[in-house]
A = this chain, B = another copy of it.
Amino acid sequence: MKLKVKILKFLAGRPVCMIHEKTAEQMSLHVGDRVSIKKRDKKIISIIDTASGIINPYEIAVSNTIVENLKLKKGDAVNVEITSRPQSIHLIREKLKGKELKKAEIEEIINDISRNALTEPEIAFFISAVYNKGMSLNETKNLIQAMVQTGSQIKLRGKVADKHSIGGVAGNRTTPIIVSICSTVGLIMPKTSSRAITSAAGTADTIETIAKVDFSIKEIKNILKKTNACFVWGGALKLAPADDKIIKIGRIIKIDATAQLLASILSKKISVDSKYVLIDIPYGKSAKVTKRQAEKLKIKFLKLGKKFGLKIGVILTDGSQPIGNGVGPVLEMIDVIKVLQRQNPPKDLEEKSIMLAGKLLEMTGKVKKGNGIKLATQILYSGKALKKFEQIIKVQKGKVENFKKLKPGKYNHIIKTKRKTKIKHINNKLINSLARQLGCPEDKSAGIYLYKKANQTVEKGDKILTIYATSKEKLEHAKKFYNKNKKEIVEFG
C-alpha cells in the first residue's frame, strides 16, 4: 500500500515506523509485524507500531534511520508491504539446538541482521546460541566473511597494517603511539576505533580531545594519502554493520562468545583491507582473560589468519593492572603525548608501545626479526613518531598548540595511603567503573591519575591516585563509589 511519509525525529537508532490503527487494520498488520518500506529501488525493513492521534490514516511516521536510508522527505510516497518472518529465525533455532551452520545459512542470518530484518530479541537468541553452542573454525570464518560482505569496504594499496587489543586494561592507550611509529616507515595504518562501551575511554574518545574522528570513507582515503595513517571513529562507517548490531545487543548481558570476539575484530580489519594484524591479548587478574584463555584465543587467531591469507601476530601481555598513569580521554591523551614528546613518560606505556610497534615492524618486513624494538625505539626517540602524530592530528583538523592545553577536570580529590605498605593489585574493572562514575567517556576531562603500580612500596601519606570530575556532584558520587569499593580498587598488603 502507498503511504505518505511523516518524519518523526525518533532517535531510536534502528528502523521504527508507525501507521494509523485504521490503516493497520486495513492492511491486516499488527504491532511488531515486519514491513518493507520501499522508495524506488531502495528498500528497508522495519518493525511496525500503530498509533492514532499523532498520525493520520494512510500516513507512515518513520524514524531517522529510515529517513536516512531511503533519503526521504516529508510527504514522499513510499510503498509499504508486510514481509514474512525471515527464514533466518529458523536457522537461529537450529543453532540454539546445536546444529553447525553452513556458509549460506550464516550469510542469511548476518544479511538479515545487517538489513534490519531481525529484531533485538531475535539477535539475542542468535548471540545466546553462539555463546552456548560455540562455533567451529569454519563457522567463524564464514561469520567473518558474511560480516565483511554485508558492510562497506575500503580498498587500499601498500602494506596495510593494523593493531588491536582485546581490551580490558584501563589506560592502555598504546595505539596512537604504535601507529605513529609504524606509519613513519611507510606502513599504511587505517586505524578505526570504537568509542568506549564499558571502559573509561576508547581510542576514538581519546583522539577526540585534540582532533576530529568522525570522517566518511572518502575523507579517510584522503587522510591516508597525506599521512599513511589515521585515527578515526569506525561507528558510522558501516564496516561490518552486523557486528555493530550484535555488539549492541550482546553488551546488555556482557557475555563474550569467543567466535563473536574473533569475528568482531577480524571483520573490521578485513573491511579496511589490512594485510598484517597485530593482536594484543592482555591477560591476568582483573583482565578480560586468563593466561590459558589467552593462549587458546591466540591459536584461533592464527588459524583464522591463515584461512584469510592475513598475516596475524599475537602477543600475550601482562593485563593484571592499568597501563600508564592516566585513565579517561584527556588523561590518556596526556600520557600519549608525554611518551611521544619524551617528557616524563609513563614507563610501562612507553615500553609496551615500543614492544608492539617493534613486533609489527618485524611482521611487515620493515626490519629483520629481532631488530624491531631497536627500530621502534629509534623512531620514537628521534622525534619522528611525534612529527608523524602531529601531522595526522593536523590533517584530522586538530591543533598541535592545543596539546599543552589538555587539562583534567577542575574538581579533584586525592587519595593517600594511611600507612607504610605495599601495593598488591590495582583492579582494571573497578578503575574503569570509577572512571565511568566520574563521567567518562562523555566527560572527556574526567578520569583518574594513578601514581603507583602493583608491587611498589608506599610510605604513609603517599599519593595513590587523584580523581578528576567536571562537577562537584559527579566528584561526590565517585567518592562514594570509591569508598564503597576501596578495598578492591587498590589492594594493599
Binding site for B on A (CB under 8 A): 7-13, 18, 21, 31-32, 49-54, 89, 92-93, 96-97, 119-125, 127-129, 131-133, 249, 252-255
Q: Are A51 and B129 in contact (CB under 8 A)?
A: no
Q: Are B253 and A49 in contact (CB under 8 A)?
A: no
Q: Are A89 and B252 in contact (CB under 8 A)?
A: yes
Given A49-B10, A120-B120, A121-B120: A96 and B131 within 8 A (CB)? yes
User: Which chain B residues lie closer than 8 Å to A122 at the CB level?
Assistant: 124, 252-253
Q: Are B9 and A53 in contact (CB under 8 A)?
A: yes
Partner of A49, one of B11, B124, B129: B11
User: Which chain B residues lie closer than 8 Å to A128 at the CB level?
Assistant: 96, 124-125, 128-129, 132
Q: Are B96 and A255 in contact (CB under 8 A)?
A: yes
The oligomer's copy count stands at 2
What are the 5 A-B residue pairs with the smallest beta carbon separation, nearest first? A128-B128, A124-B124, A121-B124, A132-B132, A120-B121
A419–chain B nearest beta-carbon distance, Å: 35
Of the A-B pairs whose beta carbons lie under 8 Å apart in the complex, a sample of 23, sorted by A's number, is: A8-B51, A9-B21, A9-B54, A10-B50, A11-B21, A11-B31, A11-B50, A12-B31, A54-B54, A92-B253, A93-B254, A96-B128, A96-B131, A96-B132, A119-B120, A120-B121, A121-B121, A122-B253, A124-B124, A124-B125, A125-B128, A125-B252, A128-B132
Q: Are A8 and B54 in contact (CB under 8 A)?
A: yes
Known contacts A11-B51, A96-B132; 4 additional CB pairs below 8 A are A8-B53, A9-B54, A93-B253, A119-B252
CA distance A181 to B346 in the complex (A): 84
Q: Are A121 and B51 in contact (CB under 8 A)?
A: no
CA distance A254 to B121 in the complex (A): 13
User: Which chain B residues lie closer than 8 Å to A131 at the CB level?
Assistant: 96
User: Which chain B residues lie closer than 8 Å to A51 at the CB level?
Assistant: 8-11
CA distance A9 to B252 in the complex (A): 29
CA distance A12 to B21 in the complex (A): 11
User: Which chain B residues lie closer than 8 Å to A54 at the CB level?
Assistant: 8-9, 54
Q: Are A121 and B52 in contact (CB under 8 A)?
A: no
Partner of A253, one of B12, B52, B125: B125
CA distance A148 to B367 in the complex (A): 69
Which of A10, A121, A133 gathers the greatest number of chain B CB atoms within 10 Å?
A: A121
CA distance A52 to B31 in the complex (A): 23
A475–chain B nearest beta-carbon distance, Å: 15
A473–chain B nearest beta-carbon distance, Å: 11
User: Which chain B residues lie closer than 8 Å to A133 at the CB level?
Assistant: 132
User: Which chain B residues lie closer than 8 Å to A253 at the CB level?
Assistant: 89, 92-93, 96, 122, 125
A195–chain B nearest beta-carbon distance, Å: 13
Name the residue on B nearest A120 (C-beta).
B121
User: Which chain B residues lie closer than 8 Å to A254 at the CB level?
Assistant: 93
CA distance A131 to B7 in the complex (A): 41
Name the residue on B nearest A122 (C-beta).
B252
CA distance A254 to B89 in the complex (A): 9
A422–chain B nearest beta-carbon distance, Å: 33
Q: Are A249 and B132 in contact (CB under 8 A)?
A: no
User: Which chain B residues lie closer than 8 Å to A96 at the CB level?
Assistant: 128, 131-132, 253, 255
CA distance A238 to B379 in the complex (A): 69
CA distance A421 to B141 in the complex (A): 51
CA distance A271 to B252 in the complex (A): 32
A113–chain B nearest beta-carbon distance, Å: 13
Partner of A249, one of B9, B10, B53, B121: B121
User: Which chain B residues lie closer than 8 Å to A252 at the CB level?
Assistant: 89, 119, 121-122, 125
User: Which chain B residues lie closer than 8 Å to A123 at the CB level?
Assistant: 121
User: Which chain B residues lie closer than 8 Å to A49 at the CB level?
Assistant: 10-12
CA distance A436 to B344 in the complex (A): 74
